[in-house]
Copies of this chain bind each other. A is one copy, B any other.
């Protein structure tokens, strides 16, 4: 399985935001919506073997499970609607217990650390880093877990946790790119088995 964890630093944790102002009034929820789209969409299919966890302000996590998703569309607004629907049930998420809020979409009251720890148990954490190995030079790990930040840098505490958990440090290219674009490039790296299979 391919996993993506995206830490959203400037995002709502309550459902009282407008779908018509995702890049303003809703912090920068638009960034996370684009990450979900990049993680799951092929031309005429959903990537079923993908899990994407959006960490909202280190307080809630919305998990999207590719094999179970039924109502995902590629546009930002409809993805934001799924996130808002998840936050509508925030009072039901007690402790680390998850609530399924749409088919394949789960809300839990978990921050970055437990989400990363759980993913690291199941797969190999790949840290995207400007000093990492060029993607072309290494073989993609099985069950990779890519960890990304929204438009802000990772918090110092997140960097420490990543340093601790990372099985590999990878550089996807010479340019610093948006998180959703990094997800697309990571998929291409994996799809081609490290640029060897087309």
Q: Which residues of A contact B (CB under 8 A)?
A: 19-20, 22-23, 30-31, 34, 37-38, 41-44, 73-78, 134-137, 171-178, 181, 184-185, 187-188, 191-192, 195-198
B176 touches A23 (CB 8 A): no
Shortest CB distance A151–B (Å): 8
Name A23's contact: one of B77, B137, B198 (CB within 8 Å). Answer: B77
Specify which of B74, B178, B184 is in contact with A41 (CB 8 Å cutoff).
B178
Alpha-carbon distance between A101 and B156 when the two chains are bound, in angstroms: 43
Min CB distance, A195 to chain B, in Å? 4
| Chain B residues positioned under 8 Å from A74 (CB to CB) | 23, 30-31, 34, 178
Q: How far is the CB of A38 from chain B (nearest CB, A)?
A: 7
Residues of B within 8 Å of A42, CB to CB, are 175-178
Copies of this chain, whole number: 2
Q: Give chain B residues whose Cβ lies under 8 Å from the Cβ of A197.
A: 174
> Which chain B residue lies CB-closest to A172?
B188
Between A and B, 13 residue pairs with Cβ closer than 8 Å are A19-B20, A23-B74, A34-B34, A38-B181, A41-B177, A44-B176, A134-B192, A136-B196, A136-B198, A174-B198, A177-B184, A184-B184, A185-B185
CB of A196, distance to nearest CB on chain B (Å): 8
B136 with A195: CB separation less than 8 A: yes
A174: min CB distance to chain B, Å? 6
Find chain B residues with CB under 8 A from A174 CB. 191-192, 197-198
Query: What is the CA–CA distance of A176 and B42 in the complex, to the nearest angstrom?
Result: 6
Task: State the CA gap A130–B82 with chains docked (Å).
Answer: 34
Taking a contact as CB atoms under 8 Å apart, the answer to whether B173 and A23 are in contact is: no
Q: How far is the CA of A78 from the CA of B196 in the complex (A)?
A: 38
Q: Which of B37, B171, B177, B191 contacts A43 (CB 8 A)?
A: B177
* A37 (CB) vs chain B CBs: closest residue: B34
Contacts of A37 in B (CB 8 A): 34
